[in-house]
A and B are shown apart, each in its own frame.
Chain A
Amino acid sequence: MAYLVRNILFRTQLTRGYKQFLFAGSKYFSSTSIEGSASLDADDDVPHFPGLKSKFTDKLEFVNAEEEGHIPVYRVMNRKGEITDKENEPTLSREIIEKVYRKMTLLSTMDRVLYESQRQGRISFYMTNYGEEAAHFGTATALDPEDLIYGQYREAGVLLWRGFTLDDCMNQCFATELDRGKGRQMPVHYGSKKLNFVTISSTLATQMPQAPGAAYAIKRSGKPLCVACYFGEGAASEGDAHAAFNFSATLEVPVLFICRNNGYAISTPSSEQYRGDGIAGRGRGYGIRSIRVDGNDLFAVHNATKAAREYAVRESKPALIEAMTYRIGHHSTSDDSTAYRSKDEVSYWDKLDHPIARLRRYMVSKEWWDDEQEEKWKRDARLQVMQAFGRAEKAVKPPMKDLFTDVYDEMPRHLAEQYEECSAHVSKYPNEYPIDNYASNE
Chain B
Amino acid sequence: MAAISTCRFHRFLKKSMVCKNLTSSLVAKNQAKHASTFTYVAETPQTDGEVKRMNLFQALTDAMDIVLETDESAVIFGEDVAFGGVFRCTVGLRDKYGKDRVFNTPLSEQGIVGFGIGVATAGSTAIAEIQFADYIFPAFDQLLNEAAKFRYRTGNLFDCGKLTVRAPCGAVGHGALYHSQSVEAFFSHIPGLKVVIPRGPIQAKGLMLSAIRDPNPVIFFEPKVLYRQAVEDVPVGDYELPLSKAEVLMEGSDVTMVGWGTQLHILREVANMAKDQLGVSCELIDLRTILPWDIETIEQSVNKTGRLMIAHEAPKTSGFGAEIASTIQERCFLSLEAPIQRVCGWDTPFPHIFEPFYIPDKWRCFEAIKKMTNF
Interface residues of A (CB under 8 A from B): 1-3, 5-7, 9-10, 12-13, 15, 18-19, 22-23, 148, 179-182, 184-185, 189, 191-193, 198-199, 201, 203, 206, 208-218, 220, 227, 239-240, 242-244, 246-247, 250-251, 405-409, 412-415
Contact = CB atoms under 8 A, between A and B. Distances in A.
What DSSP secondary structure best describes chain A's contact surface? helix
Contacts of A22: 16, 18, 23-24
A420 B211 CA distance: 28
Given A6-B131, A409-B215, A413-B296, A244 B155 contact: no
A18 B9 contact: yes
Contacts of A148: 122
A9 B179 contact: yes
17 contacts: A5-B178, A12-B174, A180-B155, A189-B153, A191-B158, A192-B157, A206-B146, A216-B75, A217-B73, A217-B119, A220-B100, A220-B124, A246-B106, A251-B115, A409-B216, A413-B292, A413-B296
B153 A210 contact: no
Given A181-B153, A414-B292, A239 B110 contact: yes
Given A5-B178, A214-B121, A239 B157 contact: no
B158 A193 contact: yes
A350 to B, nearest CB: 34
A206 B114 CA distance: 7
B250 interface: no
B151 A213 contact: no
Interface string B227-253: 110000000000000001000000000
B108 interface: yes
A15 B9 contact: yes
B374 interface: no
B126 interface: yes
Contacts of B75: 216-217, 220
3 A-B pairs with the lowest CB-CB distances in the bound complex, closest first: A213-B118, A209-B114, A243-B111
A247 B228 CA distance: 32
B24 A209 contact: no
Contacts of B151: 406-409
B216 A408 contact: yes
Interface stretch (B137-145, B198-206, B278-286, B301-309): B137-145
B108 A242 contact: yes
Most chain B CB inside 10 Å of its own CB: which residue of A180, A185, A220, A246: A220
Contacts of B3: none
Contacts of B172: 9
Interface residues of B, number: 67
Contacts of B179: 5-6, 9
B299 to A, nearest CB: 11
Contacts of A208: 114
B106 A250 contact: yes
A311 to B, nearest CB: 20
Contacts of B346: none
Specify which of A7, A212, A406 lies most central, judged by the most chain B CB atoms within 10 Å of its CB.
A406
A184 B295 contact: no
Contacts of A240: 110-111, 114, 141-142
B320 to A, nearest CB: 14
B121 A198 contact: yes
Nearest to B104: A250
B107 A3 contact: yes
Interface in B114-173: 114-124, 126, 131-132, 135, 138, 141-142, 145-146, 149, 151-159, 161, 172
Interface string B1-23: 00000001100100010100001
A69 B107 CA distance: 31
A413 B289 CA distance: 14
Given A180-B155, A407-B192, A409-B151, A213 B116 contact: yes
A259 B293 CA distance: 43
B142 A213 contact: no
Contacts of B126: 213
B115 A216 contact: yes
A412 B111 CA distance: 30
B294 to A, nearest CB: 9
Contact of B122 (A185, A189, A217, A244): A217
Interface in B82-128: 86-87, 100, 103, 105-108, 110-111, 113-124, 126
A2 B178 contact: yes
B153 A184 contact: yes
Contacts of B296: 413
Max chain A Cβ within 10 angstroms of own Cβ: one of B16, B114, B295: B114
Contact of B157 (A1, A181, A209): A181
Given A10-B86, A214-B121, A220-B73, A199 B157 contact: yes
B146 A214 contact: no
A15 B12 CA distance: 7
B175 interface: yes
B94 to A, nearest CB: 15
B155 A184 contact: yes
Contacts of A15: 8-9, 12
A7 B131 CA distance: 11
B191 interface: yes
Contacts of A19: 12
Interface string B306-325: 00000000000000000000
Given A242-B108, A250-B106, A409-B216, A199 B153 contact: yes
B87 A13 contact: yes
Nearest to B19: A22
B124 A193 contact: no
A6 B86 contact: yes
Nearest to B225: A13
Name, among A3, A210, A213, A246, the residue most crowded by chain B CB atoms within 10 Å (CB to CB): A213
A406 B24 contact: no
A210 B111 CA distance: 8
Contacts of B228: 13
A244 B111 CA distance: 6
Contacts of A18: 9, 12
Nearest to A408: B216
B152 A216 contact: no
A193 B157 CA distance: 6
Contacts of A239: 108, 110, 138
A213 B119 contact: yes
B108 A246 contact: yes
Given A215-B122, A240-B141, 5 more contacts: A9-B179, A210-B121, A210-B146, A220-B100, A409-B215
Given A22-B24, A148-B122, A7 B9 contact: no
Contacts of B131: 3, 6
B154 A199 contact: yes
Contacts of A213: 114-122, 126
A243 B145 CA distance: 17
Contacts of B138: 239
A198 B292 CA distance: 27
A243 B146 contact: no
A233 to B, nearest CB: 19
Contacts of B244: 412
Interface in B168-192: 172, 174-175, 178-179, 191-192
Nearest to A414: B292
